[in-house]
Amino acid sequence: MSVVAVQLGQCGNQIGQQLFSVINSDSNGANRKTYKECSDERFFYENSKGDLVARSVLFDMEPKVISQAITKASKSGKWKYGETAHFCQKQGSGNNWANGFSVHGPRHEEVMTDLVRREVERCDRLAGILPMMSVAGGTGSGMGTYVTQCIRDMYPNSFIFNHLTWPYCTGEVIVQNYNSVLTLSHLYQLSDAILVHENDTVHKICAQLMNIKHISISDVNKVIAHQLGSVLQPAFTEHSLSSYSRDPIGELLCSLVCHPEFKLLSLCNIPQMCSSSLAYSAFKWPGLLKHLRQMLIANAKMEEGIDWKVCVPSVDKSAGEMARNKRHVGFNTSLANLLILRGKDVSTADTGAFKDSGMYAPWLPAGGTFSAWNTSVPFNGYEKSATIVSNSQSLLRPLDNIVKKAWNMFASRAYIHQYTKFGVSEEDFLDCFTTLEQIISSYTHP
């Protein structure tokens, strides 16, 4: 089954191009014929000339980013984008969500939906659609949300798995908090799940783990693409023990989205290091999994700086029922976790520690909170690697911060006129705040 990517705005197009490069490079390693066949079926197809073409459509209101993505893909000589699978105009959205959603989206709806439809029709079987965008921009989030809405209308029974990039806390644009609130509240109702990468976290990984001195947007995007690829590449799942999963999005959602009120997913991946250090490093599964589990429960996004004092709360059965003791400050409660292991001796990895019921919300049924996928094929140059995709409280703090900042601006009516003139009313803002405050409440008391 195939996944169709929809690259939206500058962020979505840059990350999308890096993602396809990682997937293509990883699949072309030695002794991985079946792995490559499955990966290519998911993400590429052959055109009439025999070229390997990405299953993706690219949208932006400025031609520069799209032309750069197309050029980089073509220069690789290994894969390319479809010759007509893109749309751009020489008019930006000025970092205004309302302009993208209410003006550019409806104005160009027919041509954009036709591009998506044509890409979907190239698939023998559709696994799902992967819209990729920034949560805080103009074109990527505003027009991207409109495109996602159109996709949901066109394919009401297909999976939509959004990938969002969270802005730096220090701010990229003055209205990024407004844009984030509007994007998240809409996509939460349109998507089956939303996987979030935080720019601040990825920046720290580049600085502290990759040892990059002068960090560029490209460096950040490469880390995001590596982590995302570690989830999307073929693996054996609990439902496909003898062959690679043919329904990657469906099985991922089945493992992680236990309730429609809880759709926010985060990701941790280890190890990550600069290529010069990789050749001199050796890893064992017990050590990798011990660190990854502590990262999960302590809400640490990388190996450095983990708080080892945080522990899973004990369970008291003396009263005849499961009653959890007071949770440690900083403990990250999970609703569901998916562990993906790739590499040498993967069959020897013991994942039992991730099944501890104390890690999860008490109302969830036993056995429905943890899933594990694996493959002996190493990923992207790492002999052993582990990724955990988590539906947990890990995004609660950044979400709460964005809502508070946006509410403070809204209370003082700052920049509201820039949105109302494009058709987003104050009542629309209030509806969006209400939606996100309900999400925050749900994750605060899972």
Q: Report the Cα 398 to chain-centroid distance in Å.
A: 15
* CA 252 to each of CA 23, 107, 173, 234, 365: distance values in angstroms, whole numbers, following the listed order: 18, 34, 33, 12, 18
| 299 shares its domain with 261 | no
- Look up tokens 């999994």; give the residue: 289
Q: What is the pLDDT of residue 93?
A: 54
- Other Cβ atoms closer than 10 A to 147: 27
| 12 shares its domain with 60 | yes
Q: Which two tokens stand for residue 221?
A: 């995007």
| 386 shares its domain with 239 | no
| 285 shares its domain with 358 | yes
The enclosing H or E element of 34 equals helix 33-43
Distance CA 31, CA 377 (A): 9
Distance CA 194, CA 401 (A): 18
- Least confident stretch, 112-121, 186-195, 232-241: 232-241
pLDDT bin (cut points 50, 70, 90) of residue 214 is: very high
Name the residue range of residue 420's domain: 397-444
Encode pLDDT of 131-142 as tens digits.
999 998 777 789
Q: What is the pLDDT of residue 319?
A: 40
Q: Which two tokens stand for residue 352?
A: 């039992």
Distance CA 69, CA 271 (A): 28
Here the CATH number for the domain that contains residue 374 is 3.30.1330.20
Of 227, 249, 266, the domain-final residue: 266
* CA 17 to each of CA 28, 172, 385: distance values in angstroms, whole numbers, following the listed order: 17, 22, 23
Question: Into how many domains does the chain fold?
Answer: 3
Task: Identify the three-state secondary structure at position 236.
Answer: strand
| 59 shares its domain with 187 | yes
**DSSP letters along 389-425, please?**
EEEEGGGHHHHHHHHHHHHHHHHTTTTHHHHHTTT--
pTM listed for this prediction: 0.93
Query: Which one-letter amino acid corresponds to residue 238?
Result: E
Distance CA 166, CA 439 (A): 17
Closest by CA to 73, choosing from 119, 2, 7, is 7
Q: Which two tokens stand for residue 119?
A: 């890409």
Query: Which one-letter amino acid corresponds to residue 221?
Result: N
Strand segments (E) across 306-396: 315-316, 323-324, 334-343, 370-375, 384-392
**DSSP letters along 121-156, please?**
HT-SSEEEEEEEEESS-SIIIIIHHHHHHHHHHH-T
- On the question of pLDDT at 195 being above 70, the answer is yes
- On the question of pLDDT at 109 being above 50, the answer is yes
| 193 shares its domain with 309 | no
Of 266, 297, 315, the domain-final residue: 266
Task: Identify the three-state secondary structure at position 354.
Answer: helix
Closest by CA to 194, choosing from 202, 206, 186, is 186
Distance CA 235, CA 241 (A): 9
| 157 shares its domain with 142 | yes
Encode pLDDT of 24-55 as tens digits.
999 987 788 999 999 999 999 999 899 999 99
Give me the long-range contacts of 320-329 (CB less than 8 A, separation at least 24). 322/357, 322/362, 324/358, 324/362
| 277 shares its domain with 212 | no
- On the question of pLDDT at 90 being above 90, the answer is no
Distance CA 380, CA 21 (A): 11
Phi, psi of 6, deg, nearest 5 = -125, 105
Radius of gyration in angstroms for the set of CA atoms belonging to the chain, rounded to a whole number: 21
- Other Cβ atoms closer than 10 A to 317: 8
Here the CATH number for the domain that contains residue 103 is 3.40.50.1440
| 171 shares its domain with 288 | no
| 118 shares its domain with 254 | yes
**DSSP letters along 65-107, please?**
HHHHHHHHHHHHSS-B--TT-EEE-S---TT-HHIIIIIIHHH
**Strand 161-166 relative to strand 193-198: parallel, antiparallel, unpaired?**
parallel
Encode pLDDT of 254-308 as tens digits.
999 988 899 999 999 999 888 777 777 788 999 999 999 999 999 998 888 888 8
| 221 shares its domain with 319 | no
> Does a cis peptide bond (omega within 30 degrees of 0) precede residue 446?
no
Burial of 315 (0-12, 13-18, 19+ CB in 10 A): middle
- On the question of pLDDT at 318 being above 50, the answer is no
Encode pLDDT of 370-421 as tens digits.
999 999 999 998 999 999 999 999 999 999 999 999 999 999 999 999 899 9
Closest by CA to 192, choosing from 145, 257, 282, is 257
Here the CATH number for the domain that contains residue 437 is 1.10.287
- On the question of pLDDT at 228 being above 80, the answer is yes
- On the question of pLDDT at 340 being above 70, the answer is yes
| 357 shares its domain with 420 | no
